[in-house]
Every structure is written in structure tokens, then in C-alpha cells.
Chain A
Amino acid sequence: MKSWLTTTDHKRIGLLYFWTAFGFFLIGGLEAMIIRAQLIKPDGGLGVSAETFNQLFTMHGTTMVFLALMPLSAAFFNFMIPLQIGARDVAFPRLNAFSYWVFLLGGLFLNVSFIAGPLFGADNLSVAPDAGWFGYANLTERQFSPGPNVDFWLLGLQILGIASLAAGFNFIVTILNMRAPGMRMLRLPPFTWMTLITQFLVITAFPVITVALVLLMFDRFFDTHFFVPQGGGDPILWQHLFWMFGHPEVYILILPAMGIVSEVLPTFSKKPLFGYTVVVYSGVVIAFLGWSVWSHHMFSTGLGPIADSVFAGTTMLIAIPTGVKIFNWIGTLWGGQIRFTSSMLFAIGFIAMFIIGGLSGVSHASAPSDLQQTDTYYVVAHIHYVLFGGTILGLFSGMYYWWPKMTGRMLSESLGKVHFWLTMIGMNLAFFPMHFSGLLGMPRRIYTYSSDLGVTSFNQVSTIGAFLIGLATLVFAWNLLRTRWQPVNAPNNPWGGSTLEWAIPSPPPVYNFTVIPTVESRMPLWQTERHAPMAPLPERPPAAIHVPGGSWWPLITAIGLPILAIAAISRTLPLVFLGVAIVIVGIYRWAYEPFEM
């Protein structure tokens, strides 16, 4: 127990990220299923109240984005990046632990709002955030949202932002500085490349939302008027700041999954990634363009024809590098020897579903057309084809691919296939009909709809699909747990992968590599035209290996942050001093800690 609380081992932190994020993924999924259950009937549904429904969709979005998908990617960053680049750990192991603890505490702080009502004298048990994951001002101002709900949201997201920023800098430094000899930038595995690009997006996007959240916090706590029109403020400013973060965030969510798919397809096709450099550069181009499209979320706010044209144009441009990636993936499959493992099925499913999400996105890029689709179920369909059909299928592909490496245990392939088919059928039943609900005039974020709209049957199919996804996820959870009591041990390289993580035992020893390998090709474990496969590493390290010891200070420093948030939300001055003291002492002791334990 102590060794887990003080761990600075990137592999253990990766597992902590995985299990925590998977837990939040189940919570977010449960919220989605209550939402879908309510919408199975029109005119009042199953009786979920408007207030509860608004909390559920707010927390579903917030949870899935910040507490499930980003940290599930982070689990793979943590576990895999040092292994893929031939390093013993990340650049800043204690900062890495700090990121995890901040993420965990921030997630708990947000979710405690579901049962914190009595503490605030509220009528209901739950005072969960209820103004949408996008928290549009001026609805989020104290005047219109007087309760603690929005406070939980804006404080929770500030805490989580610290975790993301710390991890972002950590991984950039790790990837740039910790590469094994010979691991040139254009020899990096594609997943490492996409991780690097993602982290640059994180460190540029998260400061923007942090600024927005701080301004909103000032409005709510200190009566400033940044987003209050009567006070000279502007609610549209919030939308600009939020989406300057929010659109890069979409690529923060999808690029790691694209990286996973770019690893899985070559391994199970027995062919190198087609157009490696083009796949890498198109990732860079997507990230750059990702900074210049934010206002396509705001076409209905009346930006004027010039701005609409510019943002429609930049948004359409993104389709090009995205299309290039898809063609290169198909080029990788073409002429290969394809093995349909669970991991490969999810990777192929990713391509098939992401195409749909990408194409429906073009109708949003066309600004006037978007005036009919934005804020309807058509957008809900679009984002779920991108974030479920894309990100989640990609992450599942990564889980089947890397689980043996992470735990030393093989997952069941037959359960994996059941999981895959249930997920595919479920997601298409859930999300495809939403295109029709939207086109037929059903707005999103409504707890009930009129039976006269003629969208009831589409909603019923969506609900059935959502429950199938829930069932599929239970099959997956069972598959994970099964590896604990019916273990099948994994060899070093169960799939015949080409990258360095497959050169070492499963699970890897604490020091990762007995000897840091010297890299001579992009696929060190594969025979290529010019290079023989890398020689196996020695069984035992030839000399003593220095690994960082454990530390309490990342955890202790992290505890200071939710205390500050509690101080703000409960308006308790002494807690402010306590929180600040813990953070300062924590950082001080951390800085002067003897590195060897």
C-alpha cells in the first residue's frame, strides 16, 4: 500500500491512471444510460427531473472528457512512452506521481458534488454541476446559477488542469530528452509522436481554459463582470476562450487514439506503417490547424460573414490531413497479412467509424448548413462517432494490444471479440439514429421532447444501443478481472510487434531495460531491408541500475489543491491558509528531498 502511495515508477502510475480512469469511465457511462433511459419516452420520459437531467448530461460530458478519455490516454503515455523510447522512466518521476494524485483528487472533488447537497442546505442530495460541460456564460454567473453546482465544476476543472499541464511538460521533456541512443525523431514510434503532439496541444490549450475559469471564478466569487453584459462584460468572450481550449481538446482526445491505431495496424498486417513520415506530419498539421478553427462551434452566435467564412475554411482544411491519415492506414492494410485479433478489430472499427464522424463534421464546417445542425442531436451523433467511434475504439484497441505488456497477462480473445461486436452494434444503434433525431428538429440537452416531433422511435433505438454498449463494457470489465484469477502469462512479444516495448519482459522489470538499447531503425525488432532485428537484451543487468525511489511529497502537495477548492466553495478562510501551507511545504520538501531513499 505504502509503495503504491509513494510510487514514482511510470509503470505503476500508468496502472493507477488506468484503473482510476476506467472507474470514471463506468460512472460516465452510467450517467449516459440514465440519460438514454429518460429519453426512451417523450413528454416527461421516465420521470427524471429537469434538474437531475441537466446534472447528468453536464457530468457525463465533463467526466468522459476530463476523467475518462484523457486519463485513459495518459495511462498509455505513462506506461508506454518510456518503454517505446528506450528509457528507464519519465524525465520527472515525482512530477508524474503528482499529476496522477491531482487528477484523482480533482475527479473525486467533482463527483463528491453528487452527495454534497445537505452541506449547502440544498433541497436535494446532489448539487452536481448543471450548466453543461461547456459552461456557457452568462448562465454560469451567480445570478442565474446561484448554487454551488457551477463552483464544483469550475474549481474541479482548475484542479484537473494542473494535472494535465504537469503531465504535458513532463512528457514533452521525456520524449525530447530521454530517447535511447539512435532513437532519432523520425524513428520514434507513431504513438510516441502523437503523444508528443498531444502534449504540445495540452500545454497551449489548458492555460486558455484556466484563464477563462479564473475569470468566471472572479465573477462568481468577487462580483467582477468579465462575462456580465450589464457590467460591460461579454458572454461571447467566454465562448471564444472556451473553444480556443475546446477545439484543441478534441485533438488532445483523438490524436493518441490515432497513434495507437498506427501501432496496431502494422503489427497485425506484418507491414510497416504506410507513409510513416506523412502520418507524422499530418498529425502535426492537424494540431496546427486545430488552433485555428475554434469559432466553428459558434456559427449561430452571429460572428458575421467574414469570420464565418474564415472558420468554415480552416475547418474544411482539417479534413485533408485527416483523410491522408485514413488513406495511409488503408495503405498499411493493403498487401498485408492481416490477423483479426481483438486489438486489430477495434483498430479497423476505429477507421470505419471515424470516417462517418469525419464526414458528418463537414456538414458542420459548412457554416450555413451548420445553423440547422448545431445544438441538435445531429451534433451529438457527430461527436460520438468521433469520440466513441474514434477515441474509445482506439483506446480499446490499445488495451487489448498493451494489456499483456502492462500486466504480464493475456486477455481472452474470444471475450474480446464478443466485446467488439457488441460495441459496434451498440454504438451504431445508439448514435446513428441521432442523425435523424437531429435533422428532424430535436435539440440536444433537453430532458424531454414532444411526442409530436416524430422522433420517438429514433430515441428508442438509441436507448437500446446505449444499453448494448453498457453490456459490452461489462464483458470487457469481466475480461480484465478474469486475468487476475485465471492468468495466462504473456511472453515478451505476444503479437510480433516491432517497437522497443516488446523487447523486454511482460510485465517489465522496474528498471525496464537491462541495458539501454541502441536503436538503428524505425522498427528495431523487425527485419528490414537494411537492418537485422535488434539482438536480444541480456537477461540480467550487467551493472547496478539507478531507479528513483518513492516519495510522499507528490501526494501531500496534491492534497493541498482540493483543500483550496473546498476552502473556496465553503468560504472558509482558515482552510485557505491550510491548503497554501500544505502546497508550499510539500513543494519545499519535495525540492530538497534526498533522491536516494
Chain B
Amino acid sequence: MRGPVYFHAVPLALLVVVLLLTACGGAPHPQSTLAPQADFSTELFGLYKNVFWWAVGVFVIVEALLLIAIARYRARPGARDPKPVHGHTVLEIGWTLAPALILVFIAVPTMRSIFDTAGHAPEGALRVQVIGHQWWWEYRYPTLNISAYNELHLPVRTAIQVEMTSADVIHSFWVPRLGGKRDLIQGRTNRIAFSADSAGEFWGQCAEFCGASHANMRLRVVVQSDSAFQRWVDQQRVAPATPAKGSAAEAGLQVYRRSSCIACHTIAGISQGKVGPDLSHVGGRATIAGALFPNTPEILQRWIMNAPAMKPGALMTPQTLPPQDLDALIAYLQSLK
């Protein structure tokens, strides 16, 4: 019979699994959980590896038993009826205790990790508040008195205390290479804590289904050396640049002042809208629209003209601006470093 043929493929498939798992840790996977770059994510990965290898062991043994059984006990013509075995008490006790014992080796490190990763950073950690919005991220640094949007800047090798909540529905903050996900829930504050091992840009995105553009609620974490981080902080603290007289940006500021932008967006000293992200330093960001698109004049132009076409459900209504006004507005926004 052909029954057993498939099952010979199982160990082979397993080998492929292991090879792929080891091969997948490299750079082209910016959201890989298999390439941790922080204490939090490293601990979770260690725990996963522990479970994984136990599972591989159990998988090999049990599938092998199944394979042997169906290969060895195929019906053969003329064979006598099998012995009507009803059970075996010692075997039953044995295969009840064996998995229980294995689970002890998984449960003990699990419990230890649960308390290790409960989200409480040591004293003096940098506090960051993450607020989820449909479908973008707001970050506040209460001790530094600044805020950021979609792109979170953090100093390397520094304990970070992240406090999370939501302005609307439930979201989940997830940057796989830095740590596990944690939900953002209106009316509650959730915590994670971590310290990034190396500088670099880390990708993440919302992991809890949050409506039409859940797939488009992405984020970046820029982990920087202490000095680079300090430069970024200083830049956030200065008031938005005032455009030079007669420049395109200056005309753009006038367009901004009389457009409907001001109802929803804040630019410090100019407008105080609270619906969308603060634009005081929008020109300094690498991406727009929830880390979805690069921050280039062409994309910004398309975005202003018709945001919902680029990001379903986006609240920003399509704008109708004459081309020269649009160009000026973009020049102004780009000047807000």
C-alpha cells in the first residue's frame, strides 16, 4: 500500500524546517522574531527555542511510532486475526507521566520568564508613553517633554519603560526584534520594558485587528547612540522652523493657515488640531501615514490629495488645492525638520 510513503517525507520536511529556521535569522527580515536585538526579545527567543527542541523530539518519536505501526502492521492476505488487546495499564501510566515530565522542563522556565518580562523596568529607565490611534502611533516622552509620531527614537543600551494605552480601539504594539507584543487598551495602561542591544532601525506594526487599515498601521523604532539620540531630542524641542520671507515654504505656511489642515493637525504656534498626528517636525521623519510610505514630495502630494485611496479608512478627507498651493504646502511641510 501507499500509506507509509507520505510519512517518510515527514522527517525530511523536519530537516527543511530546521535549515530554514537557522537561515531565516538574517538581515532581509526586518520583523523577524528569530533575530532578537534586545534583552526582552532575546529572552522570548530563548524560551521559544526550548519549546521548539522539545517539540521536535516529541514529534520525531511519535510520528516515528505512527510510521512504524502502519508500515509493520499492514493487512496481509491470509494472516490470522490480530490479538484483541484491550489496553495496558503500565503503558498508560508511562505515557501519562512522560509528557508531564517534559512539561515540567517547559513550565519552569516559562514561569520564570513570565515574571522577568512583566514589564517593569529598573529605576531611572527612560519612560515612553505609546498611544494607539486608528491607524497611527503617538509617542510621548514625559521626562523629556517631547513627543514623536510613528517613528520612535530610543537610545541604545538604555532601559526603556514603555507605558501603553489607546485613544480608540484595541491595538497591539509589536516590534519583533525588540520584544513581544502588548495590547493598547483605552482606559488601561499596559507596560513592557526592554533595552536595545544595538543601534539601527527596527520595524514593527500593529498586531491586534483594529479596523479597516489594520494592515497599514506600521511603525519604526530608530535606536541611536546616546549622542545621536540627544541631537534628535534637541531638535524636537526647538519650535517649528519659520520659513524665510518670500520662500515657497512661506507661501505654504499661508496655504496651511487657511486650509482645513488646521482643524485636525497641530503645528506648534500655528494650529492646535488633535485628530491627526502633530506636524511640528514632520519634515524630519523618514516616513508618513503610519510608517507606510517614504516621506517624499511626490508621495506627500498624493497623500494630501486623496489619503483614503492610499490608506483605506483614513480620516483625512481628499483635498482640492490648486497645484501651486499644493507645491507650496509641501515645501512648507518638508521644511519642518
Contact = CB atoms under 8 A, between A and B. Distances in A.
A312 B111 contact: yes
A448 B170 CA distance: 20
A333 B181 contact: no
A327 B182 CA distance: 37
A528 interface: yes
A308 B183 contact: no
Contact of A144 (B54, B211, B213): B211
Given A54-B212, A139-B169, A446-B215, A439 B186 contact: no
A326 B62 contact: yes
A441 B43 CA distance: 17
A529 B86 CA distance: 11
A486 interface: no
Given A372-B181, A439-B32, A445-B214, A271 B118 contact: no
Contact of A367 (B100, B110, B174): B110
Contacts of B182: 300, 302, 371
Interface string B1-26: 11100110010010001001100100
Interface in A488-515: none
A351 B75 contact: no
A578 interface: no
A481 interface: no
A421 B4 CA distance: 12
Interface residues of A, number: 101
Q: Is the interface of A mostly helix, strand, loop or mixed?
A: helix
Contacts of B123: none
A203 to B, nearest CB: 29
B150 to A, nearest CB: 14
Contacts of A368: 43-44, 47, 110, 113-114, 116-117, 180
Contacts of B17: 435
B305 interface: no
A316 interface: yes
Contact of A340 (B2, B43, B213): B2
B246 interface: no
A330 B91 CA distance: 12
A34 interface: no
A180 interface: no
B92 A319 contact: no
B69 A372 contact: no
Contacts, number: 304
Given A136-B209, A371-B117, A51 B52 contact: no
Interface string A272-313: 101111100000000000000000000011101100110011
A276 B87 CA distance: 7
B85 interface: yes
Contacts of A455: 29
A234 B162 CA distance: 22
A131 B214 CA distance: 11
B337 to A, nearest CB: 25
A356 B176 contact: no
A337 B79 contact: yes
Given A302-B183, A372-B180, A454-B28, A324 B66 contact: no
Contacts of A351: 66
Interface of B: 1-3, 6-7, 10, 13, 17, 20-21, 24, 28-34, 41, 43-45, 47-48, 51-52, 54-55, 58-59, 62-63, 65-66, 69-70, 73-76, 79, 81-88, 91-92, 95-96, 98-100, 103, 106-107, 110-111, 113-119, 134, 168-170, 172, 174, 176, 179-183, 185-188, 190-191, 203, 205-216, 218, 312-313
Given A54-B209, A362-B55, A372-B33, 6 more contacts: A301-B190, A312-B107, A324-B92, A363-B55, A444-B209, A448-B216
9 contacts: A144-B169, A269-B82, A274-B85, A301-B190, A338-B75, A340-B74, A366-B51, A375-B208, A453-B203
Interface of A: 49-51, 54, 131-132, 136, 138-139, 144-145, 229-230, 234-236, 269-272, 274-278, 300-302, 304-305, 308-309, 312-313, 316-317, 319-320, 323-324, 326-328, 330-331, 333-340, 345, 348, 351-352, 355-356, 359-360, 362-363, 365-376, 417, 421, 424, 428, 432, 435-436, 439-450, 452-455, 526, 528-529
